[in-house]
Structure 1
Amino acid sequence: MKTIRMEEMSWPDVRAAMAAGYTTAVVAVGSTEQHGPHLPTMTDTRIGDATAHLVALKLGNALQARTIPVGCSEHHLAFGATVSLKRETLKLIVRDYVDSLVRDGFRRIIFLPSHGGNFGPLAEAIEDARKAHPGVAITGYTDLLGITGFLQGAAAEFGISAEACGAHAGDDETSLMLLLEPGLVVHERFAPGYLGPLGEKEVQTIFERGMPALTENGVLGDPRQASAEKGEVYLERLASFLVEQVG
């Protein structure tokens, strides 16, 4: 096949792929939201799309469904340049995805959130979808602190602290965007943001009070040592980790 991206395929191509055993669909769930002064608002969606693509390739029997480009980003609205869905809206979109893909004949559907605000609603949506389609394997990686910790562990191999890696427009996301969309990264605006702990307490503070409660520039971490070379490693490690978790 020339591509495993369903949006790049005709319907006969999709049917032929499924007949050949490609009965798993992988869906990234991104966002359109501020990512500090140096990254574009499509950062989560672009990273999620690239990650889902690599996960699908590694699985070997999967097609990549169209990435969902918006999510639950209310905690970023104070900065502007953000489009946010209500929790129930995202859950309904996910359910419509599932219903459509099941109707197509997919026997396994994997959702991969690439934005923190999507993890909780997605977990609920997956549970609801499983009840509606008990004969289909519907899963996803919905442990926000787990994936944050994994990426911080990967950053440590480069000598980057957990605080600098951060969780939003820090070393990891900036490195990934330098790999994927270097022309959209504004180097001269690199600046550290919040450099404290990022545990359950801090995440709850962000969700309840918004990002400005922790960061003035919309950054959690420090992008100043980011590089495309590190981005390549982050992407490979992240995709392999997700395959281990949901594959």
Structure 2
Amino acid sequence: MNVIGVHGREIGQVTERAQFAVVPLGSVEYHGPHSPLGTDTILADGFAERIDASLHPLIYPTVPYSACPGKTQHYPGTISIRPSIFIDYLTDVVEGICRFGIRNIVLLNAHDANMGPSRTVAEAVTGSYPDASFLLINWWQMATVDFTQRLGLFQGMAGRGHGGPYEMSAVKAFRPEMVIVQESDLELDSCPPLSPLPYVLVEGTPQGWDGYTGRIRQCSLEAGQSIVEEASRNMNLLIKEWLDMRTGNNGEAK
């Protein structure tokens, strides 16, 4: 159910029925000449719609504006909100949901720069609402890193990267007309991993970068459909496990 369509007289019924709220998080950000500025918003919307209705989600409107990294801020079309403003804004949104009577909240993210602020908000709000639980889902992490390689979706790479084949193939699965690669568009290879261990590297101008990265001619609808199907399946399994944990498998809130 989408909260936009809820009438005032239905609020009690809706909050009683909904098992959790979903706040999709997008951005307005340059993703290369081949990609829409609303890439992350399209993905956040699309995956929100793929949440299993039998889990009884209450879906809120996608937040379209957010903080953007330095490496995309100066590219045309990017709108970057100061991180402190975004944190305050998102805090007000989720506290409003808590006051509405819902304590289980999924932050469904499609923009990597939302990860830090989302965690900050979740940690802070659980201080005010100790019975609240936040599940932070980054859609691209709902398929394993080697998933595309096992299926042979992309040649010579996993396809990951901002505006790259992995992300933009997923956009094609939702909006096939929105990704347009031309012969003049550069193909770029990002730098190889520094370590097999997790790490965070922040650079203003990374290697293999022009507001996007990747061998973009390998974007395809078929790859996108496989990625979206796998990510959606794992996303719903994760949400179900979380809800089962929250209710103790007996339908009663912990």
Q: Which one of 3, 13, 22 corresponds to residue 6 of structure 1? A: 3
Q: TM-score, normalised by structure 1?
A: 0.83
Instruction: Give the conservation status (yes or no) of the 8 Å contact 1:176–1:234.
Output: yes
| Per-residue deviation, residues 39-97 of structure 1 (Å, max 9, x unmatched) | 01100111012112223x26612111111112220321122210112222221122111
AA aligned to 1:242 is M
Unaligned runs of 5+ residues in structure 1 are none
- Identify the structure with the greater helix proportion: 1
Whole-Å Cα distance in 2 between the matches of residues 73 and 46 of structure 1? Answer: 16
Q: What does residue range 79-98 of structure 1 map to in structure 2 within 5 Å? A: 79-98=75-94
Q: How many residues get paired?
A: 236
Report what 2:248 is aligned to: none
TM superposition shift of 1:215: 3.6
Give yes or no for the alignment of 1:46 onto 2:42: yes
Write out per-residue CA displacement over residues 197-246 of structure 1, whole angstroms, 9 at most, x where no aligned residue. Answer: 356899844x3x32x33344322222212222221221121123233445
Give the corresponding residue for 1:154: 147
Does residue 66 (structure 1) correspond to residue 61 (structure 2)? The answer is yes
When Rg is computed on C-alpha atoms for both structures, the one with the higher figure is: 2
When residues 203 and 194 of structure 1 are mapped into structure 2, their CA distance, relative to the original with a 3 A threshold, is: farther
Partners of 1:222 and 1:31 lie apart in 2 by: 23
For structure 2, list consecutive stretches of 5 or more residues without a partner in the other structure. Answer: 243-254
Q: Distance in 1 between matches of 2:188 and 2:198?
A: 14
Structure 2 SS opposite 1:36: coil
**CA–CA separation in structure 1 for the residues paired with 2:193 and 2:11:** 42
Provide the residue aligned with 1:185 in structure 2.
179
Q: Which residue of 210, 213, 219 maps to 1:217?
A: 210
Are the equivalent residues in 1 in contact too, given 2:26–2:64 (CA < 8 A)? yes
Q: Distance in 2 between matches of 1:235 and 1:81?
A: 26
Instruction: Give the 5 Å matches for 1:93-112.
Output: 93-112=89-108
Does 1:240 find its partner at 2:237?
no
Alpha-carbon distance in structure 1 between the residues aligned to 2:222 and 2:82: 36
Work out the CA distance in 1 between the residues paired with 2:9 and 2:226: 36
Runs of 4+ more than 6 Å apart? 199-203
For residues 106-162 of structure 1, the C-alpha deviation after alignment (integer angstroms, 9 at most, x for no partner) is: 1311112211111111111110011111122223136x9x828x4532211332258
Query: Alignment partner for residue 120 of structure 1, among 95, 109, 116?
Result: 116
Look up the match of 2:73: 77
1:28 aligns with 2:24: yes
Equivalent AA in structure 1 for residue 172 of structure 2: L
Match of 1:227 in 2: 220
In the alignment, the residues of structure 1 paired with residue 232 and residue 14 of structure 2 have an alpha-carbon distance, to the nearest angstrom, of: 22
User: Is contact 1:192-1:223 (8 Å) kept?
Assistant: yes
